[in-house]
Amino acid sequence: MISLFMTFSDSAGERRVRPAELDAVAELVGSIPDMTEAMLFTPLEQSVDHPYKADGSGPVFALQLRFPDLFACEAAMDRGGILASLATGAGLPGLTGLDVTHQVMLTRAFPVDVAEHPAATMDICSYLVHYPGPAEDMNAWNLHYLEHHPSIMRTFPHVRQIEIYTRIDWVDRLPSQRVEHMQRNKLVFDSPAALAHALGSDVIKHMRADFVKFPPFAGGNKHFPMLTRVVRPKRQS
pLDDT tens-digit series, residues 27-55: 999 999 999 999 999 998 777 777 777 66
Contact 83, 30 (CB under 8 A): no
- For residue 119, the model assigns a pLDDT of 47
Contact 182, 131 (CB under 8 A): yes
What pTM was computed for the model? Answer: 0.93
- For residue 116, the model assigns a pLDDT of 66
> In angstroms, rounded to a whole number, what is the distance separating the alpha carbons of residues 3 and 19?
24
Angle between helices 138-153 and 203-211 (to 10 degrees): 170
- For residue 117, the model assigns a pLDDT of 61
> In angstroms, rounded to a whole number, what is the distance separating the alpha carbons of residues 100 and 98?
6
> In angstroms, rounded to a whole number, what is the distance separating the alpha carbons of residues 74 and 70?
6
> In angstroms, rounded to a whole number, what is the distance separating the alpha carbons of residues 211 and 214?
5
